[in-house]
Amino acid sequence: MKLKREFFDRDTLVVAKELLGKVIVRHAGGQIIKVRIVETEAYCGAEDKACHARHGRTKRNEPMWGKAGVTYIYLCMGLWNLLNIVTKSEGEPEAVLIRGIIPLTDTGENFKTYGPGNTTRYLKIDRKLDNLDTIYSSELWLENDGFEVLKEDIKTASRIGIAYSVEYKNKPWRFILKALQKIIE
């Protein structure tokens, strides 16, 4: 069942946890690729010193200011396109970074799927899909296939690669599906 806007139009920390176990579906090159989300990170608005919204609205972060369920894809360190899903209401720039996945579809390619850069590589996602509304898209969307995640199945941790963010660097806003953690590391 495809996730609706109401799923994303909620508190970002709740959405980040509840995305664990959900399925990303990518239609690319005549192929349907499905993966299960096993790790996320929350970015909670302009006051969050690690969030791209901290410097205000820019051309780069424009999707974050839009509708919940829209993609925010940016180039990290000139190497990796990273996939974020916008949360909350329009004008509240918050999003969830998809950090780790487990393939449900065999694409015939053999490379790591752990880490946000490898996630987008596996799913054939680039910045052409930036600001894509996953609610209506036939290229990229999210589904709930009934996989159940209990509260005790979730491990929290500090976010990665944000040492510059002062008091926000140690916030436990990274969420990992415990049962699958060994598989992805």
Res. 52: pLDDT tops 90? no
pLDDT for 129 equals: 96
End-to-end CA gap in the chain: 29
Confidence of residue 55 (pLDDT cuts 50, 70, 90): confident
Mean pLDDT of 71-100: 90
Confidence of residue 51 (pLDDT cuts 50, 70, 90): low
Mean pLDDT of 72-97: 89
CB 159 within 8 A of CB 173: yes
Res. 63: pLDDT tops 80? yes
AA letter at 164: Y
Which secondary-structure segment (H or E) carries 6?
helix 5-8
What CATH number has the domain spanning 5-180? 3.10.300.10
Q: Mean pLDDT, the chain, as a whole number?
A: 89
pLDDT for 167 equals: 81
Domain spans of the chain, in order of start: 5-180
pLDDT for 181 equals: 57
Q: For 15, which DSSP code?
A: H
pLDDT for 142 equals: 98
